[in-house]
Structure 1
């Protein structure tokens, strides 16, 4: 052998098997890592996709892309004060509790007025005075409220999220077939004062109502010709709340009161009157079959939402979130609350609360 030449040394059988095992192990590791990446990649995209796309500024109030509370973007962090319509109570009990569970960063605190009774009017007034961040209303804003906001350096906006029926209730013992809208108007104007004038017994009519400045509902808002008329019956007794009104109607044989259908349809101490545009078109808000008084409260009447949807029931009210447009946190809270209520989850919960969703 010449000096400097190299001679290969054959590997042993054990060495060859060891090298082969290492190569197979590395290949298996690569396959496993590659498989994990392929499995995780679409899931990482799903988690990040909606958040990044929905945070690019699309306004979902009129046609929300989000279907659940968790997918709504731009929800502010902190505690926000709101108030207003007592007709919204079922929504606050069901929908708002769901919002708190799904979006705990948005803490909502309902605030009653320091003076007067709670209602749409008082809630809007508190919003104008800086006592609330947004308000809930079961009537539209008035020209005076729009003007007051402008004079204070901001604007108000109303966003509809639902529809409610306005129910008229009387004492359980009163026997009367129902009322037309004209008759109801004349009663609250003081032009009809006895139930005998509308097919009932010889009994004085005692009307109950919230104070006009705090009222939840405008009784004749469905008819623009009547909104300018001031309901001013000398027999009207003003009440603090619907609870007080129902108690007093139940003790007053000729008592009459109007309010949100969701608040009174399930009640056992009063009964709803059918309403209509003509005496031959009286429509009841009770869903058939009717629950008789002796079976209530174990069983309770439900709202016939179909007569509200198809327009055959003559008086409705629209549910609005009132937003303070000042480019501040109040506006952020009001807009976020509206987007939450207009999601599929929010609209379903509004329907479960006894109201009609808008989408």
Structure 2
């Protein structure tokens, strides 16, 4: 065989090998995108360039019940009326549970029991919920749409500059019981909380702050955040935790700076602090920059929980997440007091 023919054969073999390798790479990439990315990644990619609600595709018509997290209430108030004005045939109805208090866990349970089209959650799904879905013949998918932070509320006159996450844990597990152990007055601490089965915020707090230790016996359980903040406003030694959007703008309680160490405390509000005597004409604003950068130590994501069963309810949940992930949706989320996820 001549040298020219050998060269030609080698070049052809090289090109064929490249084609085979490229085809295998493409196939693997497609498989990995499906298996690892899931709906959440696809949703984020598909709406990353979408500006307004009107440009979102595959929004179904019908009446769709949804429920879940009480943390989501400001988002529902801000976002849902605008969605309804743009997509009047995509009708949304928030549904309370028939028993128990509304919250992330109850919303996910109602979704599993076919009572909702989709759910809103302030915590990620847990293994038990994934397993329950599988036994029912479908899967659940969590789609992150916003960032939130947990803020600590105390009485406005409490003379404490801030606390660490470790000290917060010791308060709620009973190892710190007086504010004088934290540089404050000789005053008994009264910790308030909702019950763990009643909200995603409590579940998140128990797992990430208490590290699954039990609440102390002196913790007083209150049904709602509104009632708990009222108790703190009337109790010099009271303390409570909730979504920053529920605590920071309040006129009757003071949000505490929080940190991993006492030398690095970060307020959940923008400095300078607005004196509560000037509220409600002026209100403290969220420290969104610290939430986005993780400088503030307790942040979390908010999720739309979708049932993946190729039915119209799944389409409704995916459409709702897509709407929230548009530029318009993220701006409305910011107006509701939360942080954009992108």
Tell me the TM-score normalised to structure 1 length: 0.80
Match of 2:43 in 1: 61
Find the counterpart in structure 1 of residue 315 from structure 2.
Answer: 332
Q: CA RMSD in A?
A: 1.5
Aligned to 1:243: 226
Q: Per-residue displacement from partner, 1:178-225 (whole Å, max 9, x unpaired)?
A: 1101111111111211111111111111111111112231126657xx
Pick from 169, 189, 195 the counterpart of residue 185 of structure 1.
169
Is 1:298 equivalent to 2:284 in the alignment?
Answer: no
Tell me, yes or no, if structure 1 residue 256 matches structure 2 residue 242.
no
CA contact (8 A) 1:156 1:325 kept: yes
Can you list the C-alpha shifts for 1:245-279, whole angstroms capped at 9, x where unaligned?
11111112111111100111110111101100001
Match of 2:262 in 1: 279
Distance 1:142 1:76 in 2: 29
The alignment partner of 1:297 has SS state of: coil
Structure 2 residue aligned with 1:132, among 116, 120, 123?
Answer: 116
CA shift for structure 1 position 289: 2.6
CA contact (8 A) 1:222 1:316 kept: no
Measured after TM superposition, the shift of residue 111 of structure 1 is: 1.1
| Alignment partner of 1:351 is 2:334 | yes
Tell me the residue number matched to 2:25. none
Out of 198, 214, 224, the residue aligned to residue 231 of structure 1 is: 214
Structure 1 residue 289 corresponds to structure 2 residue 275: no
Distance 1:198 1:115 in 2: 40
Equivalent-residue separation in structure 1 for 2:125 and 2:85 (angstroms): 31
Q: Distance in 2 between matches of 1:194 and 1:352?
A: 38
2:253 maps to 1:270 = yes
- Which one has a larger percent helix, Structure 1 or Structure 2? 2
Query: Equivalent residues in 2 for 1:1-359 (5 A)?
Result: 61-63=43-45, 64=47, 65-217=49-201, 218-219=204-205, 227=211, 229-359=212-342
In structure 2, what is the equivalent of residue 9 of structure 1? none
Residues 116, 240 of structure 1: 8 Å contact kept? no
Q: 1:222 to 1:190 in 2, by over 3 A?
A: closer
Deviation (angstroms), 1:356: 1.1
Q: Equivalents in 1 of 2:123, 2:152: separation in Å?
A: 17
Extract structure 1 runs of 4+ deviating beyond 3 A.
Answer: 220-223
Deviation, 1:288, is 2.1
Alignment partners' CA distance in 2, 1:351 and 1:161: 11
CA distance in 2, matches of 1:239, 1:122: 17
Give the secondary-structure state (helix, strand or coil) at the position aligned to 2:205.
coil
Residues of 2 paired with 1:143 and 1:175: CA distance? 42
CA distance in 2, matches of 1:239, 1:185: 19
Larger radius of gyration: 1
Q: Deviation at 1:169?
A: 0.4
Deviations, residues 126-145 of structure 1 (Å, cap 9, x unaligned): 21122211111111111111
Give ranges in structure 2 of 5+ residues lacking alignment.
1-40
Q: Is the 8 A contact 1:219 1:315 kept in 2?
A: no
